[in-house]
A and B are shown apart, each in its own frame.
Chain A
C-alpha cells in the first residue's frame, strides 16, 4: 500500500487533534495547562531537533529565541491590543529574522565554537530585560492578559482554550517541518550535515542551507515563546535563562535527535517527569528544600542514564522495538542522526 507521506502526516495530525480535544474536555484545568505546556515545548524542541539533528548545528541559546517571541507577544498584546493570532505570527517572523542574523554570524563556526557563541546568546539576551526595565519590566517582567474568545461562552475554561491554541500551533509546526525535512530542503540539510565538501560539490549552497536551518528553527522557538507568554500569563527574564535552553536541547536528545516524533517524546519527558518526581517527593513528606532538589538531581541522573543506555534517544528505542515485531518496509528512510565525531588529526595542531 503506497500512501502519500503528506497524507500520512495529516492523518496523524487529525488523530492527535481529536485525542487532545477529547483529553482537554475530560481532564481538569491543571492537566489542560500541562497539555498546553507540552505542546509549547513540542513546538520549540521540533525546531531545535531540525537544526541540530538535520543540519548538524548545535544551539545552546534557543531560550533566547523563545524570549524574543514571548516579549514580542507581550508588548503587542499590552500596548497595541492586537489579537493573539497576529501577535503569534509577528513573533514567529521577528524571531525568524533574528535567526537569520544569528545564523549568518554562526555560519563559519563549528562544534564547540558554535556552542559557545549560542550559549553566550542565551545568557546575554535575557539580561537586556534587566538593563532596560522601562520597556521590559525588569525582574518583574510583563503581565500578559489573554482570554478565551466570546463565542465559546463565558464558562469555557481558559486553560482548555490555551491547550487547544498551543496544540494547534504545535501540529501546524510539525506538519510544516515534516514536509520541509522530507523535501529538497531537508535533503540539503542532511547532505551538509554529513559532508560539507561533498554537499558543496553537489551544487548545494552550504552557507545558505545552514542559515536557513537557523531561520526555521528560530521561528519555531519564537512561536513557542509566544505560546509560553499566554499560557503562563507572565513574561519575565527568569523563565528564559540558560536552563531553558539546555532543557530544550536535552529534550531533543532524549527524544531522539533529528526525529519529529522524538521532539514529542522529549517534551513529554521534560514536562511530566519533573512533575511526577516532585509529586512523589512531596507525598513522602520530605522537607521543602530536599523536595525541591530531588527532581533536579533525578533529572540529571535520568539524562546520564538515557544517554548511556539509549544513545539514539527514545525514538531510537521505539524504532528498535518496532523493528523486532514488524518486518522492515522498503520505503521507510532509516536515518540515524549522527553528529559525527571528527577524526582527531583533522583538528589537532602541532604543539
Chain B
C-alpha cells in the first residue's frame, strides 16, 4: 500500500513534467498547426544557460529566471527566423526545419559544453517527505516541481480565458482568416505563442534536469514522453495535455516499480507505446478530441 502510494506520487511528479512539455507542444500546435521537434532541444539549451548562470552567480533563482527568459526569447526568435518562412510550404518541411534545429542545438551544446553528464542544482531539499512515519516517496523539490508547473498552467489558463491577448490567441487558433479580417495581427500572435511555449519548455528543463542530469541529449526522452502525452490527450486540448502527462507518468511509474527482475525500467518505452496505441485505437485524435472524427 505504501509502495503504491509512493509509485503514484512519484509518477505524478514526472507526469507533471511531461505535461509541461505537452502543453508547450499544444500551444504551438494550436497556433501554427506544427509539431515542434526542437522543443526538448530548446529546453536543454536554456537549461545549460541556466547552469552557467548558477555557476557564475551561485544563486539558483538567478539561473531559474534566466532560463525562463531565455526560453521566452528563444521561442520568439525561432518562430521569426526559421519557422515563419516555411509556413506556406508543405507541412513536412517545417517539421524537418524543427528537426534540423534540434540537431543543430544538440551539436552546439556539445561544442560549448561538452558531452559529459552534469548535475543540476535544486532549489529545495531532495530528501523524502514523511507523513507521520510513512515515507511518501516525494521530496520538497518534487512538490516545488508540481507547484511550479501547475502555477504556470493556471496563469496561462487565466490569460487565455480572461485577457484580450488570450482572446486574440484563441481567435487566431480557431480561424486564422476570420481573425485576420477582424484586425488581429495573427503573425504576432503566433510569435507570442511560440515564446510562451519556449518558456514552458524551459521551465520543464530546469525542473527535470536535477533528476535526469544535463547533457546534449538529456531532454530527448522527456520530449518523446511529452509528445506522447500531448498525442494521448489530443493536440488541440490543453487539459488533455495535462491529463495525458499524468496518465503516462503514473502508468510508467507503476511499470518501473512493479515489473520485476529490473526489467521494468527497460520496458517503460514499450508500455508507453502500448498506452498510446490503446488510446489512439479508441480515439484516433486523442482522449479530449472533439467528436468530429475522420473515418476511413
The residue that B174 contacts in the complex, of A242, A297, A351, with Cβ under 8 A, is: A351
The docked-state distance in angstroms from the alpha carbon of A131 to that of B265 is 9
The residue that A246 contacts in the complex, of B82, B89, B99, with Cβ under 8 A, is: B99
Q: Is the CB of B92 within 8 A of A120?
A: no
The docked-state distance in angstroms from the alpha carbon of A311 to that of B97 is 10
Contacts of A123 in B (CB 8 A): 221, 224, 269, 272-273
Among A15-23, A218-226, A342-350, the one that faces the other chain is A342-350
Answer yes or no: A196 CB below 8 A from chain B CBs.
yes
The docked-state distance in angstroms from the alpha carbon of A298 to that of B107 is 8
The docked-state distance in angstroms from the alpha carbon of A116 to that of B90 is 19
Q: Is the CB of A348 within 8 A of B175?
A: yes
Q: Is the CB of A340 within 8 A of B91?
A: yes
Contacts of A119 in B (CB 8 A): 224, 227-228
Number of A-B residue pairs having CB atoms within 8 Å of each other in the complex: 191
Q: Mark B86-101, 1 if CB is under 8 A from A, else 0.
A: 1001111111110111
Answer yes or no: A294 CB below 8 A from chain B CBs.
yes
Chain B residues 263-283 with CB under 8 Å of chain A are: 263, 266-270, 272-273, 276-277, 280-281
Q: Is the CB of B110 within 8 A of A112?
A: no
Q: Is the CB of B231 within 8 A of A303?
A: no
Q: Is the CB of B96 within 8 A of A253?
A: yes
The docked-state distance in angstroms from the alpha carbon of A124 to that of B95 is 21
Tell which of A242, A338, A347 has the most Cβ of chain B within 10 Å. A347
Tell which of A119, A196, A257 has the most Cβ of chain B within 10 Å. A119
Chain A residues 80-122 with CB under 8 Å of chain B are: 105, 107-113, 115-117, 119-121
Q: Is the CB of B97 within 8 A of A344?
A: no
The residue that B270 contacts in the complex, of A112, A115, A127, with Cβ under 8 A, is: A127
Chain A residues 111-146 with CB under 8 Å of chain B are: 111-113, 115-117, 119-121, 123-124, 127-128, 130-131
Answer yes or no: B2 CB below 8 A from chain A CBs.
no
Answer yes or no: B176 CB below 8 A from chain A CBs.
yes
Among A67-75, A285-293, A317-325, the one that faces the other chain is A285-293
Task: Considering the complex, give the chain A residue whose CB is closest to the CB of B177.
Answer: A344
| Known contacts A113-B280, A294-B111, A349-B292; A300 and B285 CB within 8 A of each other | no
| Known contacts A289-B110, A307-B96, A344-B175; A117 and B280 CB within 8 A of each other | yes
Least CB distance from A122 to B in Å reads 9
Contacts of B82 in A (CB 8 A): 304, 308
| Known contacts A112-B35, A347-B236; A307 and B91 CB within 8 A of each other | no
Q: Is the CB of B236 within 8 A of A348?
A: yes
Answer yes or no: A269 CB below 8 A from chain B CBs.
no
The docked-state distance in angstroms from the alpha carbon of A107 to that of B277 is 12
Least CB distance from A308 to B in Å reads 5
Answer yes or no: B105 CB below 8 A from chain A CBs.
yes
Q: Is the CB of A124 within 8 A of B91?
A: no
Contact size range, B: 35 or more
Chain A residues 194-219 with CB under 8 Å of chain B are: 196, 206-207, 210
The docked-state distance in angstroms from the alpha carbon of A301 to that of B220 is 19
Q: Is the CB of A289 within 8 A of B277?
A: no
The docked-state distance in angstroms from the alpha carbon of A73 to that of B94 is 36
Q: Is the CB of A113 within 8 A of B89?
A: no
Q: Is the CB of A300 within 8 A of B270?
A: no
The docked-state distance in angstroms from the alpha carbon of A128 to that of B269 is 9
Contacts of B216 in A (CB 8 A): 293
Answer yes or no: A39 CB below 8 A from chain B CBs.
no
Q: Is the interface of A mostly helix, strand, loop or mixed?
A: helix
Contacts of B93 in A (CB 8 A): 253, 307, 311
| Known contacts A113-B286, A116-B231, A127-B266; A345 and B175 CB within 8 A of each other | yes
Contacts of B276 in A (CB 8 A): 116-117, 120
The residue that A131 contacts in the complex, of B106, B267, B284, with Cβ under 8 A, is: B267
The docked-state distance in angstroms from the alpha carbon of A128 to that of B96 is 28
The docked-state distance in angstroms from the alpha carbon of A289 to that of B85 is 33
Contacts of B296 in A (CB 8 A): 107-108, 196, 206-207, 210
Answer yes or no: B235 CB below 8 A from chain A CBs.
yes
Answer yes or no: B154 CB below 8 A from chain A CBs.
no
Contacts of B285 in A (CB 8 A): 110, 113
The docked-state distance in angstroms from the alpha carbon of A249 to that of B103 is 13
Q: Is the CB of A344 within 8 A of B33?
A: yes
Answer yes or no: A43 CB below 8 A from chain B CBs.
no
Chain A residues 307-332 with CB under 8 Å of chain B are: 307-308, 311
Least CB distance from B220 to A in Å reads 7
**B-contacting residues of A (Cβ < 8 Å)?**
52, 58, 105, 107-113, 115-117, 119-121, 123-124, 127-128, 130-131, 196, 206-207, 210, 242, 246, 249-250, 253-254, 257, 289-290, 292-304, 307-308, 311, 337-342, 344-345, 347-351
What are 14 A-to-B residue pairs whose CB atoms are below 8 Å? A108-B281, A111-B91, A112-B231, A113-B285, A116-B231, A124-B272, A289-B110, A293-B108, A299-B107, A303-B104, A308-B85, A311-B86, A311-B90, A349-B290
CB-CB nearest 3 A-B residue pairs: A300-B104, A297-B107, A303-B100
Besides A112-B235, A296-B103, 5 other CB < 8 A contacts? A242-B224, A297-B106, A304-B82, A337-B90, A344-B175
